[in-house]
Amino acid sequence: MGENQVKRKLQQGEVVIGPFINCAYPAFMEICGHAGFDFAIIDMEHGPIHTLGAEDLCRAADCVGLSAIVRVRKNDAPQIQRALDIGSAGVQVPQIETLSDAEAVVRSAKYYPLGSRGLSLNTRAGMYTAAGTEIISKLNAESLVVVHVEGKKGVENLEEIVSVPHIDVVFLGPYDLSQSLGIPGQVGDARVIELMKQCVTKIRQNQKAVGTFADHPEMAKLWIDAGVQYIALGVDVAIFLRACQALVKAVKSKLD
């Protein structure tokens, strides 16, 4: 495992940008790297990608200097372990609501003495034993740990969640937050934005980076100005849809 450039950039106060990936075709990861993204999130929570497909996406990301982060389905030790064993740059865990939830993520993501991640170096992350046990401390140091706070309970317990060592990014999920406020999907609503801004302030005061999702550049700019560093900018399938719609519209407009 090389140096995690996204982790370094976040530590230096820089903004990093990357899309969610639902397509298992490795070329999509290569394209993301060539486009200039910093990272891409392989979505195993909402997307259909399986573990073998995710591992190939990690290989493609490495080819173009892109950091591949895996979002697992839930806060589950075997899922977190597998997401890291395939050689990703980090793991993203949804629906964190309490101190114990956050502590469990770190235990699952880090080897002793930081956690209790199952130890096998017969993996892509372990270089199939080629690097020896020396790689263990490097994997602990370089893996990026991202936790989602995306509901009222998580917001209420935010102070405790951000106190947990070895969490790098607290990711605010605007869509689930809007749902928890009774206005599902209305991520531009003032109530959602105000709540998220309060959370951003609290997270940054505790020396953690903040992440969130943005559908479009204007929303990304809003959150960057608010202090968010880790921007998940769109989803590959939606980006492709909008590009196709624009092409079709441009051609059909010339037929009128």
C-alpha Rg value of the chain to the nearest Å: 18
Rounded-to-integer distance, Cα 192 and Cα 175, Å: 9
Measured CA distances, 81 to 62, 112, 117, 122, 135 (Å)? 19, 13, 6, 13, 16
**Mean per-residue pLDDT over the chain, rounded:** 96
To the nearest whole percent, how much of the chain has pLDDT over 90?
97
pLDDT for residue 30:
98
Instruction: Tell me: pLDDT of 111 over 80.
Output: yes
CB 5 within 8 A of CB 204: no
Domains of the chain are 5-253 (3.20.20.60)
Q: Which residue has the higher pLDDT, 18 or 254?
A: 18
Work out the burial of residue 105: count CB atoms within 10 Å of its CB; fewer than 13 is exposed, 13-18 middle, 19 or more buried.
Answer: buried
Q: For residue range 127-163, list pLDDT tens digits in order.
A: 999 989 999 999 999 999 999 999 999 999 999 999 9
pLDDT for residue 172:
97
Instruction: Tell me: pLDDT of 256 over 80.
Output: no
Residue closest to 89 by CA, chosen among 33, 35, 47, 34:
33
